[in-house]
Structure 1
Amino acid sequence: MTDLLAYYLHDLSPHVIRFTDTFAVHWYGLAYVLGFYLTYLVMHYLARKGLSEIKPEQVADFITMVALFGVVLGGRLGYMLLYDWDHFVEAPWSLFLLNQGGMASHGGIAGVALFCLWYARKHKISWTGIGDTIVCGAPLGVFCGRIANFINGELFGRVTTVPWAMKFPTELLHEDFVVQGGTPVSLPQGIQYSPEIIGFFQTQPEGVAGLEAMLHPRHPSQLYEALGEGLFLSMILLSVRLLYPRLPHGILTGLFFILYAVARISLEFVRQPDSGSEAIMGLTRGQFFSLFMILVGAAFIAYGWYRGPVKKSVA
């Protein structure tokens, strides 16, 4: 019965607009900009309500700096250290080649935490207080990033037969394609994205139907993660912030670490592991690194519980 299902063939372009072969506006870059803007709106809203260590007029500068030094630098360094160590050792300057891709959410989170620590000491305000504010909006950036992952056809899920499964042509570029039963395919140099792969097959005798026959139906895990690690998480934390304005500093930050880790660990079970990524103690690298986030989150909550409720608004 499942063989008769017509699964959606992913054919979205990674470009918002393409001017030339080498110059284009990418959805992924736009997702970063939109994510920072949404985080700014949430932080500015909380600051105006007196629920932030940062004053409303300081939010814009803070977001600009945390985006550059926390998210981008931290995310890139985290990817090189956690997922591409051999390449980093051989060519450490590749850290700055952002156009080649490669960002890790765990590295971005660590980068933001360290930047907030520096910012708090510089301005003599509560580090955990800053954290409680930024975690309410930051998951919206994760949401935008995962949507961009979906548009790019990357970080797709494991093979499945659920009715909403999708076929991603970028599977052909995954080294596990043959292992999973796919037919070896020789693609022209330079073909990297789903629309280009589909365009290539349209020139072949079997056409797109031949392409669909080779691909496996998969979980659209990018959308699962967009909701679980992004939108829903932000809604939960923002609701707690508004319902409990005197919540001790650090509690919300701890909740973010724990809830993000739980969502990431759970959803990784339906996400295809990265090419060449070896399991650690039976877990994917994303799951393994997330375990430490639970410990960090518990430490933040214990610290906040020990310090007690916030006595007054700080903004």
Structure 2
Amino acid sequence: MPTLVLPYPAIDPVLISIGPFAIRWYALAYIAGILLGWWYARRLAAREELWRGRPAMTPTDIDDFVVWATLGIVLGGRLGYVLFYKPAFYLANPLEIFQVWQGGMAFHGGFLGVVVAMILFARNRRINVWSLFDVIAASVPFGLFFGRIANFINAELFGRPTDVPWAMVFPTDHFQLPRHPSQLYEATLEGIVLFLLLRLLTHKAKVLDKPGFIAGAFAALYGCTRVIGEFFRMPDAHIGFLAGGLTMGMLLSLPMILVGIALMTWAARRKARAAGSEGAGAPRR
């Protein structure tokens, strides 16, 4: 038992309630993430120096994609949670699938939803789909950060029991044990750290001219930060630990790491081959 336990800052999940209408922090977190991601993506699309030439899309394209992205996040995130985490419960209670305001969104489902939205939008606008992947991937950490803060406010997805002096007792914990505030760990790793690493690639290394590289980096780095976070987070009670002490979050993240590394390698080699072909065709001096 720790000698010190930080008091959990009990924040009402409902910001404002007027009759049956309620504005929840959970919903505001998604709105904030989408708006900030939209703003950042527009900036990336507008700066030619980051692309070493003409950007693959315009800020107007980003404006139009926001609706597609929002649908992908909400529909994919909810369906992912239903299918990956609680299929038996929602099969028995199908109407609760639509009660998104009660919480229950899966990042991996939202990720797949946005991927589908990007493919359809890129084809519709004749944009290089890998470049669109890159811009959106660099903007996603905003949503991840605010989503984890919302998890903390909802006192959900809390951590494993611990004796660290910053442990907290969450009001939703049946056992009332001091636990890691793992939502804050994940907000830092998946939001702040991931954003800074991707920004180094876009603004310092300037790899936006390698379509698919940032998307691959995002997948690999997110997978790594998620796996790290899972060591402090309690697995969902209805799933528990899997074989070898793995969790569902780890299991879903491992393929992302492998695919991300493969995609970065492919994007870098593809750019190198293109540069080699241009050099071979240039006149000798």
> TM (normalized to structure 2)?
0.87
Aligned counterpart, 2:59: 56
Partner of 1:152: 154
Q: Which amino acid aligns with 1:135?
A: A
Name the structure 2 match of 1:73. 75
Name the residue aligned to 1:126. 128
Name the residue aligned to 1:28.
Answer: 26
Structure 2: runs of 5+ lacking an equivalent: 276-285
Equivalent in 269, 283, 291 of residue 254 of structure 2: 291
Q: CA deviation at 1:250?
A: 0.9
Are residues 31 and 93 of structure 1, via their aligned partners in 2, closer, same or farther at CA, if it must alter by over 3 Å?
same
Letter in 2 for 1:18: S
Q: Give me the CA root mean square deviation.
A: 1.9
Distance 1:6 1:266 in 2: 23
Q: Sort the Cα spacing of 1:92 and 1:299 in 2 relative to 1 into closer, same or farther, 3 A.
A: farther
Answer whether contact 1:76 1:103 (CA < 8 A) is retained: yes
Instruction: Look up the SS of the partner of 2:243 in the other structure.
Output: coil
Which residue of structure 2 lines up, in the alignment, with residue 116 of structure 1? 118
Preserved contact between residue 141 and residue 190 of structure 2 (Cα < 8 Å): yes
- Which runs of structure 2 are paired with 1:210-225 in the superposition (5 Å)? 215-225=176-186
Matched, 1:304 2:267: yes
Per-residue CA distance 1:274-300 (angstroms, 9 max, x = gap)? 121133323110111111111221232
Equivalent position amino acid for 1:116 in 2: M
1:53-89 Cα deviation digits (max 9, x unpaired): 3211222221122111x10011011111100122344
| Cα distance in 2, alignment partners of residues 17 and 295 from structure 1 | 43
Post-superposition offset of 1:216:
1.3
Distance 1:101 1:11 in 2: 17
* Identity %, equivalent residues: 41
Partner of 2:39: 41
| Corresponding residue number in structure 1 for 2:202 | 241
- Offset at residue 98 of structure 1 (A): 2.3
Alignment match, 2:85: 83
Distance 2:70 2:115 in 1: 12
Instruction: Indicate the residue corresponding to 1:277 in structure 2.
Output: 239
Whole-angstrom CA distance in 2 between matches of 1:162 and 1:235: 27
Question: Secondary structure at the residue paired with 1:132?
Answer: helix
Would you say the 8 A contact 2:2–2:165 is kept in 1? no
Give the partner amino acid of 2:247: T
Runs of 4+ that moved beyond 6 A = none
1: distance between equivalents of 2:262 and 2:123? 20
Aligned partners of 1:34 and 1:144 also within 8 Å: yes
User: Is the Cα–Cα contact under 8 Å of residues 5 and 167 in structure 2 kept in the other structure?
Assistant: no
Distance 1:234 1:242, change over 3 A: same
Runs of 5+ unmatched residues, structure 1: 178-214
Change (3 A) 1:17 1:295: same
2 CA distance for matches of 1:113 and 1:238?
Answer: 21
SS across alignment from 2:44: helix
Question: Aligned-pair distance for 1:219?
Answer: 0.6
Alpha-carbon distance in 2 for matches of 1:97, 1:14: 15
| Structure 1 residue 254 corresponds to structure 2 residue 257 | no
Give, as a single letter, the amino acid of the residue that structure 2 aligns with 1:238.
R
